[in-house]
Amino acid sequence: MKVVHHSNYIRWMEEARVYYLDKWGYNFRDLEASGLISPVVSVTGRFVTSAEFTDEIIIYIGVSDLKSAKFVMNYRMIRESDGALVFEGESVHCFRYTALFVKTDR
């Protein structure tokens, strides 16, 4: 199979998000150690053209909305060889403190 499976785009979004936040000083592990987590509320995307396994993909990412309880990130994936838009998407996250969760022994 030559074409990248559609599930990989979501994984690439997550990897890009973790990298982006780390570059802005919000290390994923440090945030979780402090008790702050940011679960995914929703993910949307649009496949524009197929990527192949040998393609190098450049991911442009940014925050489009930031509020006290949530943030929205946008993603554009571009094939490096020809500049073609391969995928564009969005992920919505909320902020939660782990202390707010109640553990049960079920």
Burial of 46 (C-beta count, 10 Å sphere; 0-12/13-18/19+): exposed
List Cα–Cα distances, 78 to 13, 15, 37, 88, in angstroms: 13, 16, 29, 9
- Give dist(CA 13, CA 50) in Å, integer: 16
Check residue 4 and report its DSSP letter: P
pLDDT per residue rounded down to tens, the chain (106 residues)? 699 999 999 999 999 999 998 898 878 788 778 887 888 899 999 999 999 999 999 999 999 888 878 899 999 999 999 999 999 999 999 887 776 555 566 5
Domains in the chain with CATH codes: 7-100 (3.10.129.10)
> Are 50 and 73 a contacting pair, CB within 8 Å?
no
